[in-house]
A and B are shown apart, each in its own frame.
Chain A
């Protein structure tokens, strides 16, 4: 069978979402942000919520998220996205609001804002990209940087005595009664991407059903920051990040409900 007979509109099985803006993203080759942007765009299209979606972009590499997903966006100050999102959702309870944040943004400078927004059970989705580094500023240590991991501010590797421990903030957030769904996913393989998409869909549906805060961590790579090829970064992540940040649901409950056993 000739390839031209396969490449026909009626045989199309996978294409770019209409909600994703047709432009080349500024992200480095292999960056996990691109995958997460793609699945968010797909979900916004599939769930037909473009008109009710308001995204809050962080400071970090995803600062330009508004150039890639065709929805209304607000660009927040570093770490403040959960507070900004709170302002939006409290005054517009009929909207689907999500905050998109990296590990420096969420777990370091914005630790207070994320904990309190989740504790209040704000009806929003938080997408947390954890690549264990500050990508945009050039690969410095983040709160989630692994012990011994080399970054531009830990050239000899992260030292627990000096820098403290890699922060499992998602585990902390799962303890807060305001959250309804807390999970950790990844996007390094096709199977992981499909699972992550299901998690994000559940998070969005929870917000539409007004169930309180849903929180989806995506363990991610930063091949530029890690100084690896994209494929090596994915493999390194699977071997080193995932053992410390294990994947799976930490909580699938209702606002005010208990933390589940797994």
Chain B
């Protein structure tokens, strides 16, 4: 049993980064995630593990510092909130194109524009469809508790290095600011120079010895045939992620006629909504995608064959609903898919969600 503490989601991100042996964090302040860098600066991990923490001049600079560090085979991360993630979109596209591993955390707030500092899930499409220019995907993890904020830092790095691809923790201001009990992971040592050379020496820019050819990190290729094959290699990687990395939680779905599909904060609300609905005699379940990309399409397709309808519950105007509809369509089923959500930083209440289900389906 690891050390148990009561912590904020944002604080846990910082603690988990130190404990999982991260080499560097580069960030820029933005509400509601500023506690991530504040916690790191207070913890001073450079004394303990040698982890580097640097406040950059902008989100644009942060993500490019991540690019530079990641390209040397180091475990590097950044965190921000919605407007800052938009600024990072260029850098994330380059990181995906150059096939570098890194971890990006988006503690979402409401948009568009400056929007609000209150929680939101309106960056779903930006996160799961890539977000910047070009055909690329991120591995997107959606924690629904402070415990998962802890667990997904290590998991995010593991998947990022496994696929040489940026991973994103897509959370929101509610989970970032919420305090819960968390069991912290044990400390893992940072990789040594020798370990990095052994694990990632085939691509990492660690300085060219006589014994190997130069390593070049780039997303550029002027030959269209080669560029197409580079793109194809990325697409093959994304298909492999879809085969091997789908994660979800199904709650009371076995006999369910109606299924809420919700992730993160809204999935916490929906847990209660399932209880309320069940008390009313409605056969309702909850499917909680844990990976938003790869999206758990297969299980939704399977459930669509016996359920009557899905209600996508999101703190947005309805974004994930598109992926649910595609999953149902791909399965060749005719289950109805509806959306219920609140915007502007409002978290729906469990009762509201049940009312919406009744209005739309019954």
Contact = CB atoms under 8 A, between A and B. Distances in A.
Direct touch of chains A and B (CB < 8 A):
yes
Given A87-B24, A87-B26, A95-B207, A74 B217 contact: yes
A51 B24 contact: no
Interface stretch (A7-15, A52-60, A218-226): A52-60
Interface string A59-89: 0000100100011111111001001111110
Contacts of A53: 207-208
B289 interface: no
Interface string B207-223: 11110001111111000
B218 A72 contact: no
A74 B218 contact: yes
B56 interface: yes
Interface stretch (B64-72, B292-300, B332-340): B64-72
A72 B215 contact: yes
A57 B214 CA distance: 14
A210 interface: no
B23 A91 contact: yes
**B62, B68, B217, B218: which has the most chain A beta carbons within 10 Å?**
B68
B116 interface: no
A51 B214 CA distance: 10
Contacts of B57: 112-113, 116
Contacts of B90: 77
A90 B24 contact: yes
A72 B205 contact: yes
A86 B68 contact: yes
B75 to A, nearest CB: 9
Given A72-B216, A87-B76, A95-B207, A77 B91 contact: yes
B52 A84 contact: no
Contact of B205 (A54, A63, A80): A54
A66 to B, nearest CB: 5
Interface in B5-63: 23-24, 26, 52, 54, 56-58, 60-62
A87 B66 contact: yes
A108 interface: no
A70 B62 CA distance: 28
Given A53-B207, A80-B67, 17 more contacts: A50-B208, A63-B220, A66-B218, A72-B216, A75-B218, A75-B220, A76-B64, A77-B91, A80-B91, A83-B62, A83-B67, A84-B64, A87-B76, A90-B65, A92-B206, A113-B61, A116-B57
Which 6 A/B pairs are nearest by Cβ-Cβ distance?
A87-B68, A87-B65, A75-B218, A83-B64, A72-B205, A84-B68
